[in-house]
Every structure is written in C-alpha cells, then in structure tokens.
Structure 1
C-alpha cells in the first residue's frame, strides 16, 4: 500500500518515501558523500563529538547497514569556491583516511594539496597564496575499504551528496563547475565540461538556498563594536591555528590566508599579527571572501550569477525545519501580579490625588482590562527593549544591541547557544535591498531554525521546487524527475544542530514507525 507523502511534517514524508522505494534495487556501492555546513568538521571534535550525529556516529550506523560513506573535512568558514575546490580535490585524490570499525578510530592523513586556481588573482583582498598543502584526506567508512583503493570520483564512480546547511550551496557550485567548466579560473580542476553526470543525487538539509538573515542579526548585535569583535575573532583564530594542521583540535583551514603560525613565530607574536588592524583576520573578515558573506542573502545572490540552480542529470531533495513558537498575542495571566510588584505602588499613589481616591477601586477592577486591550503585550516588550534595555546598555558603554521582539520565540528545547539567534531572526525585518534580491512572494522570513530562515531551505529557485507529494513512486526514470528540488516539507521540532543528530533532548523528534 502506498504511504501518503503529503504530511505536514517533512520527516514523515521522508520516512514514507523511503518505505515505498524499498522495492527498487539498491546499489550500496555508490558512496554517500556527507558535506558539512558552516563551521563544520570531519573527524570527531576532540576525538568524541561527531559533526554527523554528535555523540552518535551516523556514518558508522550507515556502514553497519551496508552503505559506503565519505566524510569530507572541507574549510569550515571558507567561501563556496574554496570549499568546492577542496571537495573536488578530496574526491579525486585517490586515497582516504580510514575508519576502523573495531576501535571506532580514524587514522587521519594530512597529505592533500589544494589549488584554488586564479579565482582570487584580480582581487587584492584575497588570500596570500592560491595553493595550500598538508590538508586532510576525506574519510572513508566502508565494510570493504580495499575495494576503494585508488577510487576517484568519475563517470564510473558516481556519488550521492547529502549536504547540511552551507554544504548544499557548496555542492550546487561544484556541480555547476563540473557541468559548465571554468577553464579561465581553474583549468586543472574544472577545465572540462559535462561532468555533472558524475552525481546521482543531492539532498540538502537546512540549506540557505537563498541566504540567511543570521548574518544581519550578528552584525546588528555587534554594530557598535565591530573592531573589538574582529580582534576577539583574531585571538580565537590564533588559539586554534597556532599548532600545525596535524595537531589542531579544530582546523579553520585558512593557512593560505596567513592565518597560521609563520616560521618560528611565538604565540604572542602570532596573536599580535592576527589582531592588528591590517592583519590577515581583518582582511579576511572585511572581504567578501568568507563564509559569513557567502551565506548572506547578497552572497547567495552572487552565487546565483555564477552557478546554475540544478543539473538535469541529478535528483534533488530538500528538507526544511524551524524551531520556533509564535510570540504571545495576549497578555499573560500573570500580568496583574507583575504590576503589583512594580517598585511604586501605583494604586496607592493614585489614591493620594484629590478627587480621584473614590474611583480608584473601580478603576483597579475594570480599568486594567481596558488598558490592556489598548496596548499589546508585544509592543510593551519592544518598548522595554528599545527604550530601556538598549539605552541602558549604551549608557554603560556595552557595545551590544539587544534585538527587539518579533514574530517568533525559540522552542524550549533549542540548542542553548542558538536561543539568541532564533529570537533575533524571529524579529528581523528584511532590508529593501534584500527584498529586491528575493523578489515577490517573499513568504515568512521570520521563521527559522536558529541559523537559517525556513523560507530559504526549499531550493534556490521556487520555479524548480516541487512538493514531494507529486513524486512518482512507480518509476525513477520518468520525465521531469531530475533537475528539480523535491521538497519533503517542514519539520517544526528541530533546530540547526538537531538536523545532523546533535540532540539536546533525547526525544526532540521521533522517527515514525
């Protein structure tokens, strides 16, 4: 019996489609390539925390079911161009770091050299060199690793991509480069055309296909202290990048930007160099050549000018999420109790006014409901934020700005570090330039998962997005199946890290049975 694909929860539709497709022959020898998003990593962080699964190990779970998985440790805060070059090089390198299923350990090898071509040649704000060496190999998870000796991505060795967050835009750019070629900027990697056929499918999870407003939220928060924020960022970069790549617990992979130790430089010397106003971190951050810009609405708009939205040879699927609840419309039931705790006893104060004392009790009983009907709770919170809290912060020289309340609040089970971003994005209005980029039929850009706006997750072009309810399950070779994004729908219980298995509460979401 066919299972419905029109559930309001996208995860239910995904589960039902998987059940229906069980009758089709499955080639588990085609690797699943997992592409991380912004700030992602490859091997477990500190040896324990997986990007894909948190304390669990999703690649290992897939291997136990007979699949082959490749985890790609590409630059966590880099541009989509840099990440596409790194991804291409890792998949065509012919060698992998290996996962040992008996010990659950990864033997990492750093011998990959990546060439970024002449993409940055005409831009003085680009990196200091176009070639970087000593990068990590991709990690192979397989029950038969010997079968992948000398394996290289090609027409004969195709792959499925599963992409989280920025990973979706990185893979989109890579497939476009494989199809159209880019001989003028990188003849070695992208000198040939028509290689988009090397990819079977792309699945995006929480990808900012149209950009995200979290960049604007962060900029607004530090608008009064940008220079201080850059110095703090530079100090953090110095800490994590002082050691050689092999010894780093978290590798930014920005050595080609000189964000690394130079020669026998001491840590203090490196820190001072990175924190200087004309240092490499300031140059990197203020340029358009970083992941912050590439994930913004303007940055993705620039990607649209360089890359095709889809390939007609590839199946595309997308999943959307949000982790919000609506901001209360009504005054909460504890309003009267809260008013009674106001530092000045308002009723007693009014009683002291001549000719008013006699009507105070009447007003106290019927007046508050009338007043509360005239003033919205949301407006009072906005007033308290803008007229009181932010003014106080400025007066005591706190160079931060608290975002005003918006349309949504975070769910109670949101990852704690994302509580401010869910709140901030839930109330941030799009700018006129952003509205012009996005065009008509904007949708709800306040709904978000803490990092990406839900409206942005469907696909890069609405004309190429179809509901999964229309996906034919009787055949996989029909006309019109490839080259469009089949959107599973929206799950309303998961934030951005929940999407990759990093659950704060064990039962944030349950797979349907």
Structure 2
C-alpha cells in the first residue's frame, strides 16, 4: 500500500512538473520568434530626404512614417540618394549611406559612363551593418529597383570591377564589389516597376514627370520655387547648385544636361528595355525574403476597353494613367511586347509590372513567406502611385491617404520573419 502511494505521488509530481514546464517553453519560443533588424526606407524617382522641402516628408507628407514606426518599436532609417541617378549609382550611394564612407562607384563603371569615380561622404546611419546585423529594405517605386540592385551588389559584387582591378592592381577597389555579403534579410517593394513602365520609354516624359512632381509638391507645401531646398545629388556628374543659384536655374541645368542621353540614368532603367536588361543581371537571391505591394486606380472604359483615370486618381497622374492605359507594342525590335495586360495601372506603373520581375520566382502571398521568391500581395484597389507615400492632396476627390496602417503592416510583417 505504501509503495502504491509513493508511486502515485511520484507520477503526480512528474505530471505537474511536465505541465508546469510547457508554458515556460512556449513563452521562450515566442520570445525567440521574429527579429528586430532595422528598416531602411528608400525613396523613388524624384524623391528627397530629410531636411528638404522644409520638412515635408516623402514618407507621409504632413504625416511622418519613420517617426510613427519608431513609436511602434520599429527602428527605422530614411535613406537619401540621388532622385534621378541610375539604379546602379543609387544602390552604391545607398550602401555608403547606411554603412558610412565615401561613395565609390567603381573605377571601371566611372570610366565607362564618363562620370567621377567618387561621390559624397556619409557618416553612416548604421555603421555596424554586416551579416550579423542585417537590415530590411523597403523601397517605393524606383526605390524597389534600387534595393534589388544593392542586394545583388552585396552578394555577387561586381565582376566588372574585379576584372578591372586585376589589370590595374595599383588602383584600389571597394570591398562592396567583392560580394559575399548576406546583409539584407528582406526586400519590400511598393508600386515598383520591376519590368519597367512604358511611360519611361521616352526619356522626355520622365524628365517632365520629375519637373512636374517637384513643382506640384512645392505648390502643395506653399514653398516658393526660388527658395526651394531640393538636391538632385548629381555631384559625380559635375552638376551642383551653386551658392545663391535659384532653384529654377538649377532645375534647368539638370533637365537640359546630357546625362539623360546616358544608359547610366534613371530614365533608361525605368524604361521597359532598360528593366529587361536589369532583370537579366539582377537575380532574386535564395537567402532573402521578397514582398511586393501593388496599387491600381485606372478603370476600364466601357466605350474603348482601354484604361482611364478613376475618381481616385490624383489629377497629377491623369495624363500618365491614360497613356499607360492604351499603349501597345507589337514589334519586339522596338522593345518588349506590350499588350492590354499592361493597361491596368496605378497612374505611373502597370500593375503587371509591379508584382515581380518577369521570369523570376514568384507566388501570391498567402501569409506564409518563402525566401528566394517574390511574395506578392493582392492589388490594392483605389491606391495610386503616390497614395502609397501619402503626399500631394491636390483635389477634394483624392485626399492624402493615411499610410500609417500600411507601413505598420509592412514593419510587422518583416519583423515577424525568423532570423
């Protein structure tokens, strides 16, 4: 009898100990889920950084997305790179903006395209950045292409620069071009023209877009164009705003520059032929999570079947919307084939171009993220290209969106990923 009681006590004790241990195990697992890597926001074509436009935010307009994310516990940095340079140049600038140092575009690249090898010097917003301290990159519009280019440089480096260095060993080479740097945990693209936008197939339209964007933002904020603080960051091309030079003069100097004839410029990279070249060079990496967000405000005309602006499209984007909504190309010698699947758009980018780069791994996101694939979200109806950053409320029909919930979701998504 005594033996039975003793055994019963032992068994009961073991059961209690087992169940007492379970909650502790679950709590410990919950604490280990996710990550706290910093988020870096990368602006698109025509974008700007902190201190420009008298504090009117690229990320939120009158709202402040970075400050909001910080208040929610998400460490966030705002990158500032050239608003009109090529994806390659912007990706190199982004590297140094995060890590710190003097921008080195590469000796071979600089000679090939005819600009200076070195650019500005940055302190670095996250100098400890390395494989043990990775980041999440979030890019709007062209910013999504720039983040892809940076990941490619980090992991693969530049064979062009390595080959040049072998022939010219006395000339230094940036460690960026060595590759083997798995420093990015995820990439999130927002309204990004992964396959280009037909609106950029003529560089003059992109030049006009940048000019109109700046003028419209200045108008919304009430800033005089003469006193506008805006930096094209084209020092490496020898283009700077001189002391006391009016913005009108500075803008004219940029717009009339020969840089637009180069393939090392945003207008080319954003075109459908330029994007096709980029997609051949820049692959989706197997160790990185990729997400994409796509909007649409165009609507199908019952008369023509083409796409036209809806009531949700900013006035500023009506002309590009209509252009994208009817453009077609049937001769492959003129560029990639463009059919009516390209007509639905967000005012600047066709929805079909925003999901993922053609020919690279992709899937509709179902809540379970996969590395090495583009996990694309469903189309966000009634969101146009600039709604995603909450700027330019130019008519009563198109009030600036409250973008906080979107960026809260993005931040929570990337921070829920396993380390």
TM-score by length of 1: 0.61
How far apart, in 2, do the equivalents of 1:445 and 1:59 lie?
33
Partners of 2:56 and 2:255 lie apart in 1 by 30
Superposed, 1:405-416 pairs within 5 Å as 407-416=306-315
Contact 2:294 2:351 (8 Å CA) reproduced: yes
2:390 corresponding residue in structure 1? 501
Across the aligned residues of Structure 1 and Structure 2, the Cα RMSD in angstroms comes to: 3.6
Contact between 1:316 and 1:485, CA under 8 Å: does it hold in 2?
A: yes
Change (3 A) 1:54 1:180: same
Q: Deviation of residue 466 (structure 1)?
A: 0.3
Shift of 1:482: 0.6
Instruction: Give yes or no for the alignment of 1:210 onto 2:184.
Output: no
Query: How big is the shift at 1:189?
Result: 3.8
Contact 1:217–1:421 (CA under 8 A) maintained in structure 2: no
Among residues 55, 59, 78, which one is paired with 1:52 in the alignment? 59
Distance in 2 of aligned mates of 1:428 and 1:121: 35
Query: Is contact 1:257-1:280 (8 Å) kept?
Result: no
User: What 5-or-longer segments of structure 2 have no aligned partner?
Assistant: 1-29, 163-172, 216-226, 410-419
Alignment of 1:78-117 (within 5 A): 78-93=85-100, 113-117=102-106
How big is the shift at 1:55? 0.7
Seen in structure 2, the aligned counterparts of structure 1 residues 427 and 461 have a Cα distance that, compared at 3 Å, is closer
Task: Kindly indicate whether the alpha-carbon contact (under 8 Å) linking 2:364 and 2:377 is maintained by their aligned counterparts in 1.
Answer: yes
In 2, the alpha carbon distance for the partners of 1:443 and 1:191 equals 40
Distance 1:212 1:117 in 2: 28
Note if 1:316 corresponds to 2:290.
Answer: yes
Partner residue in 2 for 1:158: 134
Distance 1:272 1:415, change over 3 A: closer
The DSSP-based 3-state class of the residue aligned with 2:174 is helix
The superposition leaves residues 116-143 of structure 1 with CA deviations (integer Å, 9 ceiling, x where unpaired) of 11243443x532x2212356x566xxxx
C-alpha displacement of 1:194: 2.0
Q: Distance in 1 between matches of 2:288 and 2:117?
A: 31
Q: How does 1:234-383 map to 2 (within 5 A)?
A: 249-261=229-241, 267=245, 281-308=256-283, 310-329=284-303, 378=304
Q: Which protein has the bigger helix share? A: 2
Task: Assess, with a 3 A threshold, how the Cα gap between structure 1 residues 433 and 44 changes in structure 2: closer, same or farther.
Answer: farther
- Asked if 2 retains the 8 angstrom alpha-carbon contact of 1:426 and 1:446, the reply is yes
Q: Kindly provide the CA deviation profile for residues 324-357 of structure 1, in whole angstroms up to 9, marking residues without a partner as x.
A: 122133xxxxxxxxxxxxxxxxxxxxxxxxxxxx
Task: Look at both structures and tell me which one has the larger radius of gyration over its CA atoms.
Answer: 1
Measured at CA, do residues 26 and 38 of structure 1 come closer, stay the same or move farther in structure 2, by a change above 3 Å?
Answer: farther
> Structure 2 vs 1, CA of residues 435 and 133 (structure 1 numbering), >3 Å: closer, same or farther?
closer
* Partner secondary structure for residue 259 of structure 1: coil
Paired position in structure 1 for 2:7? none
Taking structure 2 as the reference length, the TM-score comes to: 0.73
Any idea what the Cα deviations from partners look like across 1:161-207, whole Å, max 9, x if unmatched? Answer: 11111111111111111111215427314232321x21111111111
Choose from 181, 185, 196 the match for 1:200.
185
Cα offset, 1:56, TM superposition: 0.4
- The equivalent residue for 1:429 is 328
| Aligned mates of 1:30, 1:273 — CA distance in 2 | 38
Cα deviation, residue 506, structure 1: 4.4
Distance 2:377 2:64 in 1: 24
